[in-house]
Amino acid sequence: MAGWFLLWSLLLAFACMADAEFCLASYFADHMVLQKEPAQAMIWGHGDVGAFVKVTIFQGSNIISWKIGQVEGDTGTWNIILSPMNPGGPYKIVAEQYFRREVKNVTLQDVLFGDVWLCGGQSNMEMTVLQVMNAKKELSEVELYPRIRVFTASLVQAEAELEDLAKIDLQWSVPTAENIGHGNFTYFSAVCWIFGRYLYDRLQYPIGLVESCWGGTPIEAWSSSRALEMCGLSNTYNSYLFDILTYGPTDYSVLWNAMIHPLLKMTIKGAIWYQGEANVQLHNDLYNCTFPAMIEDWRRAFHEGSQGQTDENFPFGFVQLSTYRREETSDCYPQMRWHQTDDYGYVPNPKMKNTFMAVAMDLCDENSPYDSIHPRYKREVARRLSLGARAIAYGEKDVIFQGPFPKKITIMKTDASIKITYDQKLLQNLVNTTIFEVCCSSQLNKVGFNATEWLPTAIISKTPYSVTVSFNGLCKGQITGLRYAWKDWPCEYKNCPIYNSEALLPAPPFTFHFHITLH
């Protein structure tokens, strides 16, 4: 019986498009959140070609506003941009089609206006509230947030751009412990949910969270061919073989096609993104292009798709990779973290405007039952992201949302030391650390001339704004670089050597290259 019912409801969903029945696109449903002012939400659906469509917003039985559109000939679709709405609700939205004396209608109940955030990426975004630290407590608090609404797209790939979602895992819902803690890597995303909670606590108006992510997927799958071409990748089958941890589709653009393109007509406030692990071994050296290119492309596409309602420069937040293997010595992870910032080390920067980043290299979780690549400390990830959103997306002036970053590096040849001066007051825990390294072109402690090598330095002094390290006895000839936290697993849990003194945000990793000839 259940099987038949499922089949029947799926057929109904698809019948709408095929027979030009009057309907809304898949992701318009009761309990949804539509984007509030100053942007205007777009509603769209299918209908009889030539028919007029009227969309009315009711509060109780009062008409708040109405708009009229028409079903377009070539596509059989209609789009209506609603009037700008203050945050709040619930509202009822009625869409009516007038066609040859026949009136059809669809009604959405319990619709709220607020900010809609898209949550994308791979398995660290997919990881559900059930899987994270303090899951019980997190789940027990879910029902305190009935004005956050959640939605999850199904895992679908497609070879061509889809106009609507092919399938939905979680239709717009009022959050409950069941749908927020549904299962492992299904729904609902812990980072997305807790991010939404932090925003709600601050803003006190409705938040809509749209999860569209898939574990083990590289950025190429989420990027349009336009974005990939910007980085010299042609839109072809990607034959790269992944290791056993990877389980999502890897072909170029297939998730852009099926899980992002269908959402472009949804007016959104911004997006958050937790992805990169699948690119550590795949086109790592291109991520400094593919990531900024994807962000710009999504921005343009959402702006155009919503007929200008989604900001063409919408805020985009992301998580810098956490840790994977404690003993790993290759620099693939640090390289990836660096490329996530387009090689600046921090965001926003001139190439990644209106972005914000949660540094997560100190949130390691060696004993995670889901493998150390999936740390369970997602609340802190979401907290750090929410600080970025408050500063960048909501323009709060006094929010500290970045960890300390060097603003000046002074090399003192006479006493063989380097002074690193930061842009913020530091909270330091510098006991015995080898986290700063210098790149020497030749070394004193080895016979003969050697190729360049990174060597750990000793910390010799500090002030509230600076750290001084020594390369005395290490290098001769030339120094060609300085780097910090350049390891897969640079620190223990919340125990990096340098944090911001107030917001407890870790200093992000950096690598700088220069040429200083000694003596």
- Residues of this chain that interact with ligand NAG (CB under 6 A) are 94, 105, 183-184, 285, 288-289, 343, 369, 431-432, 446, 448, 450-451, 453
CB 358 within 8 A of CB 385: yes
At residue 222, the 3 state secondary structure works out as helix
Identify which of residues 183 and 464 has a Cβ nearer to ligand NAG in the complex: 183
Q: What dihedral angle (degrees, nearest 10) is formed by the CA atoms of 184, 245, 358, 285?
A: -160
Asked if residue 90 has a cis previous peptide bond (ω within 30° of 0), the answer is yes
- Strand arrangement of the beta sheet that strand 458-463 belongs to: 406-412, 417-422, 466-470, 458-463
Q: How far is CA 176 from the centre of its chain?
A: 23
Q: How far is the CB of 228 from ligand NAG (least distance, A)?
A: 15
Identify which of residues 227 and 389 has a Cβ nearer to ligand NAG in the complex: 227
450: left (phi over 0), alpha (psi -120 to 50) or beta: beta
Identify which of residues 7 and 15 has a Cβ nearer to ligand NAG in the complex: 15
Amino acid code (one letter) for 473: G
Taking the alpha carbons at both ends of the chain, their separation in whole angstroms is: 84
Identify which of residues 186 and 322 has a Cβ nearer to ligand NAG in the complex: 186
Q: Closest Cα to residue 59, out of 40, 24, 83, 23?
A: 83
Q: How far is the CB of 452 from ligand NAG (least distance, A)?
A: 9
Q: How far is the CB of 137 from ligand NAG (least distance, A)?
A: 18
Q: What is the DSSP string of 371-415?
A: -TTS-S-HHHHHHHHHHHIIIIIS--TT---S---EEEEEEETTT
Q: How far apart are CA 302 and CA 270, in angstroms?
A: 10
At residue 429, the 3 state secondary structure works out as coil
Q: Per-residue b/e over 117-133, b at no fewer than 16 CB within 10 Å?
A: bbbbbbbbbbbbbbbbb
Q: How far is the CB of 396 from ligand NAG (least distance, A)?
A: 32
Q: How far is the CB of 477 from ligand NAG (least distance, A)?
A: 13
Q: How far is the CB of 479 from ligand NAG (least distance, A)?
A: 16
Amino acid code (one letter) for 187: Y
Q: How far is the CB of 49 from ligand NAG (least distance, A)?
A: 21
Q: How far is the CB of 269 from ligand NAG (least distance, A)?
A: 29
Identify which of residues 187 and 198 has a Cβ nearer to ligand NAG in the complex: 187
Identify which of residues 86 and 450 has a Cβ nearer to ligand NAG in the complex: 450
CB 354 within 8 A of CB 514: no
Q: How far apart are CA 90 and CA 31, in angstroms?
A: 8
Q: What dihedral angle (degrees, nearest 10) is formed by the CA atoms of 112, 115, 121, 127?
A: -60
C-alpha to C-alpha distances, 49 to 136, 208, 305, nearest whole angstrom: 51, 32, 21
Identify which of residues 344 and 465 has a Cβ nearer to ligand NAG in the complex: 344
Identify which of residues 73 and 448 has a Cβ nearer to ligand NAG in the complex: 448
Identify which of residues 275 and 433 has a Cβ nearer to ligand NAG in the complex: 433
Name the residue with the smallest CB distance to ligand NAG: 285
Q: How far is the CB of 185 from ligand NAG (least distance, A)?
A: 9
Count other Cβ atoms within 10 Å, centred on residue 249: 19
Asked if residue 436 has a cis previous peptide bond (ω within 30° of 0), the answer is no
Both tokens assigned to 232: 């010299």
- CA-derived radius of gyration, the chain: 25
Both tokens assigned to 400: 């500290």
Identify which of residues 21 and 453 has a Cβ nearer to ligand NAG in the complex: 453
Identify which of residues 19 and 159 has a Cβ nearer to ligand NAG in the complex: 19
C-alpha to C-alpha distances, 357 to 320, 325, 411, nearest whole angstrom: 6, 22, 29
Q: How far is the CB of 350 from ligand NAG (least distance, A)?
A: 12
Identify which of residues 413 and 446 has a Cβ nearer to ligand NAG in the complex: 446
Q: How far is the CB of 369 from ligand NAG (least distance, A)?
A: 4
DSSP element (H, E) containing 12: helix 2-18
Q: How far is the CB of 94 from ligand NAG (least distance, A)?
A: 5
